[in-house]
Amino acid sequence: MRIKIINPNTTQSMTDKIGACARAVARPGTEIVAVSPAMGPASIESHYDEALAVPGLLQEIAAGERDGIDGYVIACFGDPGLLAARELAAGPVLGIAEAAMHLASMLGSSFSVVTTLGRTIGQARHLAEAYGMARFCANVRACELPVLELEDPRSGARERIVAECRRALDEDGSDVIVLGCAGMADLCEHVADVLGVPVIDGVAAATQLVESMVNLRLRTSKRGELARPLPKAYSGALQGFAIRG
């Protein structure tokens, strides 16, 4: 089985970390292919960033289909381009927010999302509503850490994330913590050990869920909304994205 983990930003060091976290939970015999697109933003912290990350993400999905990839994980908590990716892919495609929120809803009566910047709180709330998770999501909180500072040992990221997670338990009454950024994947075990509650990293959650779906021979339905895009011409810089008949 081959699973492609796509970090939609172009920061290779973060992609390497995400890939390592996926490999740590993957079953023996599962090959994890972790990639960043050739084009896109260095980090994703706004609707603008998300929109401009999607073309590179879809290029990686299309390449994966040519390479015989069995399933995909979109390793950004905004789950950018998820439905478009499902239109292109034969196998399952999961976003890490989608996977993490669903697992969290099975482990406690409520969860809090702890993310990076306050400006992304609305995006996480919108996803919780879209996935039917709003009744489980007690709160979305931010550490006010830019994504790329998660890579900087001088930022105090680990301590700041633990502190915000602790406030979520104390103030929100949550039973479960969802880490709201793929760049936090390597901190999951530490945060869980310190707090003594379930802490979910969406990279690990989505990786194992995709594995299970592939093992069950489940593929993305091509009936209705997620059928292949219709063949048509695209212009300018998007010419290469045209779907051929």
Residues 72 and 167 in one domain: no
39 and 71 share a domain?
Answer: yes
% residues pLDDT > 70 (the chain)? 100
131-175 per-position pLDDT tens digit:
999 999 999 999 999 998 888 888 888 999 999 999 999 999 999
CATH of the domain at 118: 3.40.50.12500
User: Do 119 and 197 reside in the same domain of the chain?
Assistant: yes
Q: How far is CA 217 from CA 102, 212, 220, in A?
A: 21, 9, 10
pLDDT at 180: 95
What is the side-by-side strand order in the sheet with 31-35?
Answer: 31-35, 2-6, 71-74, 93-95
Q: pTM of the predicted model, to two decimals?
A: 0.95
Residue whose C-alpha is closest to residue 34's, from 62, 51, 13: 13
Which residues of the chain, if any, have pLDDT below 50?
none
Q: What is the pLDDT, as a whole number, of residue 152?
A: 83
Specify whether 88 is located in the same domain as 160: no
Helix (H) or strand (E) holding 36: none
pLDDT of residue 149: 87
Helix (H), strand (E) counts: the chain: 8, 8
Q: Which domain holds residue 12?
A: 2-96+204-241
Number of domains in the chain: 2
* Predicted local confidence at residue 245, as pLDDT: 72
